[in-house]
């Protein structure tokens, strides 16, 4: 089939987020100017540059208690910083719980029973047991087409790696089994890796 998104897809569910898959999940922790803590998963997330290391995530739609956006973007507008926590398979239920449309004052670390640690370079908490966490300073918030669509870009200024995931100097993802977002209500877990040499290597 072929469809033009502006004309509709005619399917029972929008297939768009099942097409670009699997997507990594950035579990974004932020703190508001009032000190409120926030944690939420974003699968419109990726790394975008090496030097300096930079990441992005995109926020879509709004919450009734936030003007034109959701808690994560609102907090980042206030403070200019955020932390990206990497989600392992073992954290799937806590991650899912933290995605609820909770009022702004709800602390998702508490709500989902997630242990926290203070970040070192930025004023935010991080997920204490995450396999990796990236402390970021926001560089740009780009307003995208449509309503309440924002792209947040940040420079990684601090990197935490869980000790058990470092094997002979390599960050070994088989140690924690990364969780990835597919379409609909589906997820994938990375359990097998293989290597390829690039031409000329
Ligand atoms: C696995 C997963 C991935 C998600 N990815 C996104 C995303 O990329 N962008 C987005 O706006 N919401 C995404 N959501 C929904 C948000 O997590 C949800 O709206 C959350 O309440 C936002 O929290 P906040 O208001 O604290 O920022 C995702 C939810 C789940 C469970």
Strands 45-49 and 54-59: antiparallel
Q: Would residue 175 count as lying in a domain?
A: yes
Residue 195 lies in a domain: no
Asked if the structure places residue 50 within a domain, the reply is yes
Protein residue whose Cα sits closest to atom 10 of ligand 1: 59
- Label residue 177 left, alpha or beta by phi (over 0 means left) and psi (-120 to 50 means alpha): left
Non-local CB neighbours of 111 within 8 Å, separated by 6+ positions: 97, 98, 100, 102
Among protein residues, the one with the nearest Cα to ligand 1's atom 14 is 42
Per the structure, how many domains does the chain have?
1
Token readout for 160 is 């935490």
Q: In this structure, is residue 82 part of a structural domain?
A: yes
* pTM: predicted TM-score of the whole model, two decimal places: 0.98
| 43, 108, 183: residue to mutate for ligand 1 pocket, most atoms within 8 A of CB | 43
Query: E strand or H helix at 96, and its extent?
Result: helix 92-97
Nearest-angstrom CA–CA distance, 180 and 86: 10
CA-nearest residue, atom 7 of ligand 1: 42
> Tell me: the pLDDT tens digits for 131-149?
999 999 999 999 999 999 9
Q: What is the domain-level CATH number for residue 58?
A: 2.30.110.10
185: in domain: yes
Say if 74 falls within a structural domain: yes
pLDDT in tens, 70-111: 999 999 999 999 999 999 999 999 999 999 999 999 999 999
Give dist(CA 86, CA 175) in Å, integer: 13
């Amino acid at each position: 089939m072929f469809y033009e998104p502006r004309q509709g897809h005619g399917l029972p569910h929008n297939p768009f987020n099942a097409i670009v898959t699997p997507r990594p999940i950035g579990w974004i922790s932020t703190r508001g100017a009032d000190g409120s803590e926030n944690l939420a998963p974003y699968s419109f997330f990726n790394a975008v540059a090496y030097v300096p290391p930079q990441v992005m995530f995109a926020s879509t739609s709004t919450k009734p208690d936030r003007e034109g956006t959701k808690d994560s973007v609102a907090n980042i507008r206030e403070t200019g910083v955020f932390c990206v926590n990497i989600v392992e398979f073992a954290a799937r239920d806590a991650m899912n719980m933290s995605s609820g449309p909770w009022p702004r004052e709800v602390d998702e670390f508490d709500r989902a029973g997630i242990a926290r640690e203070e970040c070192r370079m930025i004023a935010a908490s991080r997920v204490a047991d995450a396999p990796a966490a990236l402390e970021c300073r926001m560089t740009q918030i780009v307003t995208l087409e449509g309503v309440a669509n924002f792209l947040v870009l940040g420079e990684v200024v601090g990197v935490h790696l869980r000790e058990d995931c470092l094997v002979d100097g390599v960050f070994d993802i088989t140690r924690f089994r990364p969780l990835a977002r597919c379409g609909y209500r589906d997820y994938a877990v990375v359990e097998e890796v293989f290597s390829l040499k690039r031409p000329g290597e």
